[in-house]
Chain A
Amino acid sequence: MSDASASSTETTRIVIGIDLGTTNSLAAVRAGKTPRVLRDLDADPLTPSMVCLHPDGRTLVGAEAKALRLEHPERTVFSVKRLIGRSASECHSDVVNLPYQVIAGERDLPRIKIGDLELSPEAISAMVLKHIKATAELALGHSVREVVVTVPAWFDDAQRQATKDAAALAGLECLRILNEPTAAALAYGLDGNNDGTVLVYDLGGGTFDVSILRIKDGIFRVLATKGDTHLGGDDFDQLLAQRILNLLPSKKGSEDPYVLQAVLSAAEGLKMRLSEHDEATLELDLGDHGEVQLTVTRAEFEAAIAPLVQRTLDCVKSAARDAGLELSQIDDIVLVGGSTRVPLVRNRLEALTGKPPHTEIDPDQAVALGAAIQADILAGNDKSLLLLDVIPLSLGIETLGGTVQKLILRNSTIPTSVSEEFSTGVDDQTTVELAIYQGERELSKDCRLLGEFKLRGIPPLPAGLPRVLVTFLVDADGVLRVTAREQRTGIEASIQIVPTFGLTRDEVRRMMIESIEHAQDDYIAREEIEARAKAEAMVRGTKKALQIAELPPDQTFAVHKAVKALQKLLDADAEPNALKSASDDLTKVTTTIADDVISAAVTKALKEEQQQ
């Protein structure tokens, strides 16, 4: 590549890193050496990965959505990361305790049903990403288009592709799908004094990953990775939630989304308190469903979660084996993910590895900070660092008898490729179908069918004569690309891909077009609602103020007139521009009035209104 991009006249390209988590999401950027989290003023840097589709038509994301989850549990969506890139039947065990409704849509794909709306997990993730994008743009002061998005290392091809689709739907160009533990290692090893072998233990809300890396001279090379996409802090919450539900006088409570959400929130709080204290008490008033009083000791909690923690430790051992290392050969242990705050997790890991884990970097932020570093590398701003990651699960194709022949083995450094030659079985056959599987098992029924590839345009020749060279290449995102060429004629065979999970290319395209069209509708709808809400508040506020303030009759009359005009427009469902200008008129009248008496009173009344 030429050096033109490095010329001093060109402004530095900014690519941001986004940690799209099961429970929380956040963005970070690196300008200079140290990455920083992009936050909304003083707000909490963590944005809850929640979306509330309010009955009034608004879509609220993040903290605003979380605030509404008790009020509108069946319309507040969270933990979609557990659904993305999977089939509805696979998700079954994950959705039983969710307060919102998940149904099986077309091709058995999970759809979130809210009122008449049916949304894909990709669409919900796109809303979260859009919100993160807006927050980042506010913090940076300029627009953002290119991003690096992190996923659990254990995500398979379908889950990675679905995450890329979500970014595209949010209007973002995803330069890289980055593995979360790798990102954390990058954030941890940045100061250059950490060359050696590092084990990253990442226990988030919904997923668990462990990766072993070798860091040397700025090159971060993943040796092995292992994980479980269905193991995380949410499971700890569920165990506590089940205890609370069992105490309810009536079993009906667990079917009520309001009760379920309240219990889940209470369980999460209980878990957090048990990380700090030896005992925690809960008093929960569930109205008609009764009251719950419960004291849990840390020992009880630890006994309940011990089997889950043991599962993570088994993964750690297995990753070390795959890396060809003894646990004693690991130099450092890095903790990532909010659930690593649970003392039992830390203690057991330390007992297993014999080393105290590092906790210098905030476990909630390490992944986003690392993603920002990789984003900076991809922007071309740092050539001293390089990541070499691996594919977590083997890829293969189905052969006769339903067995899977492995083409690419797990823990192979990516990009990686392999070529195979295929021929035809009958004369003049012009298509060949290949089924691609991901997983470690021998039989195709035990692996995940990623999709079916149909090679078309093979020249009609006697059986066995065509020689179709198919190249399977796993790119740096860990996503499979397939190309095919007929060797005798040199004809590029076209490939039609039917993914088993997630969206087809056509669906992504259609949704992107719709989202652009809807963006305009959404904007108008929101403007209408906001103009109306503001006008209503002003009418109420001014009326209140008039009762408090003592004004000369002529001024009282002017204010009354302006209020009446606005009220009339509100009653007539006037369009937002008319409401806005009448609201402005009212503001003018009230602010110019003698000694700002009324204006002060209006402000005060409005404030009270907002606080209520």
Chain B
Amino acid sequence: MFNVPAPDAFAVFGVSRTLDLDEQELEMHYLKLSRECHPDHNRAQTTDDCAAVLQRSAEINDAWNILRDPWRRARALLEAESAGVLERNKKLDPMFLMAALELAEEVAFAESDRQAALTDKLQAAIDSDFTALQKDVNNGDFDAAAKRVHQSHYHLKALHDLEAKS
């Protein structure tokens, strides 16, 4: 089984391919597109048309799910700019992996009084990952950006695990 890439979310929404999307504007745009394309407002007569309306509506919903999440948005952007870039840059720096491992242990054994401080630390790491990612994208260095996306995954997962503990 192979994952088939979803259609380019930026193209589906008709917005420019950038990381800096205004989230409120994006939501307004999503609601507008939904009004125009949702099957409830577009009752098709034939089975073929029906399938097309459904497919279009599904594409809009799926694109919205990608674009509203900064990290999924970044993945979609990189894949659209340079197909296969995420797959090519999976190998991460051993130093980073060591640090990530230590972080995971810190989370696993964190006492409840340490959790708030650790959450702040992780959130700061994620924010700085994203800032660096934006810089790489703006410089057109998609390979570096892809590495940032993979690195951020460790921080996001650590944060998720920490939240699950409380």
Contacts and interface: CB of A to CB of B under 8 A. Distances in A.
Interface of A: 1, 176, 216-217, 219, 221, 374, 377-378, 380, 383, 386-388, 397, 399, 405, 412-422, 469, 473-476
B58 interface: yes
Q: Which of B4, B6, B40, B54 has the most CB of A within 10 A?
A: B40
A13 B44 CA distance: 15
Interface stretch (B31-39, B77-85, B90-98, B120-128): B31-39
Contacts of A405: 1
Contact of A418 (B6, B31, B42, B44): B6
A221 B34 CA distance: 11
A399 B64 contact: no
A420 B3 contact: yes
| A380, A415, A417 — most chain B CB neighbours (10 Å) | A415
Sort A-B residue pairs by CB-CB distance and give the 7 closest, nearest first: A417-B58, A415-B58, A419-B4, A421-B2, A413-B61, A415-B57, A416-B58
Contacts of A388: 34, 38, 61
B1 A422 contact: yes
A420 B2 CA distance: 6
B138 interface: no
Given A388-B34, A405-B1, A413-B65, 11 more contacts: A1-B43, A176-B40, A383-B35, A386-B40, A417-B58, A418-B6, A421-B4, A469-B4, A473-B54, A473-B55, A476-B40
A374 B55 CA distance: 21
A178 to B, nearest CB: 11
Nearest to A422: B1
Nearest to A408: B62
Q: How large is the interface on B (under 10, 10 to 19, 20 to 34, 35 or more residues)?
A: 20 to 34
Given A217-B31, A413-B65, A473 B4 contact: no
Nearest to A476: B39
Contact of B41 (A383, A399, A421, A422): A383
A399 B54 contact: no
A216 B54 contact: no
A261 B42 CA distance: 48
Interface of B: 1-4, 6, 31, 34-35, 38-44, 54-55, 57-59, 61-62, 64-65
A473 B62 CA distance: 11
Nearest to B62: A416
Given A412-B65, A420-B2, A421-B1, A473 B35 contact: no
Contacts of B55: 415, 417, 473
A109 to B, nearest CB: 29
Q: Which of A378, A383, A413, A422 has the most CB of B within 10 A?
A: A413
A416 B12 CA distance: 14
A420 B5 CA distance: 9
Contacts of A386: 34-35, 38, 40-41
B31 A219 contact: yes
Given A219-B35, A386-B38, A388-B34, A414 B61 contact: yes
A1 B49 CA distance: 10
Contacts of B1: 397, 399, 405, 420-422
A419 B31 CA distance: 24
A415 B61 contact: yes
A177 to B, nearest CB: 13
Contacts of B64: 413
B4 A415 contact: no
6 contacts: A386-B34, A415-B54, A421-B2, A421-B4, A422-B1, A476-B57
B35 A377 contact: no
Nearest to B57: A415
Contacts of A217: 31
A561 to B, nearest CB: 64
Contacts of B61: 388, 412-416
Contacts of A397: 1
